[in-house]
Amino acid sequence: MKYTEKMQLLLKGVKMEEIKALEEQEAQELKEEQEQQKISNDEMEKVKNEALEAATALVKELEAKLEAKDSELEKANKDLESLNNKRTLEEQHTESNATDVFKELFKPTKEV
């Protein structure tokens, strides 16, 4: 209780014992409020920790799914690369005779 509040109560005719009782009651209420606040803070901390654990679990699950997709894509890319290499080798493996080589070397270019 503030000093000005005490003075106002004294001027109104309230006795000092009653003012002290009011101060004790006010102190008790303040203490209870602080305890409630502490309990509330503990509950909030617990909820925050639970949410953090749930978020961490979700992130790990999503990372695992992403790694699985990455490995599938990597496998698909290797298969595609292998297929392209095989097709390229087959295309290059055609036998060409001397006439084909001569035509390829001295191919006329079109000038516009």
Tracing tokens 């602080």 back to the chain, one arrives at: 34
Question: 14 vs 75, which has greater pLDDT?
Answer: 75
Residue range 38-63, pLDDT digits in tens? 888 889 999 999 999 999 999 999 99
Q: Is the pLDDT of residue 95 over 80?
A: no
Question: 33 vs 96, which has greater pLDDT?
Answer: 33
pLDDT at 12: 87
Is 6 exposed, middle or buried (CB count within 10 Å of its CB: 0-12, 13-18, 19+)? middle
Q: What residues does each domain of the chain span? A: 3-77
pLDDT at 52: 95
Helix and strand tally (H, E) in the chain? 3, 0
Mean pLDDT of the chain: 87
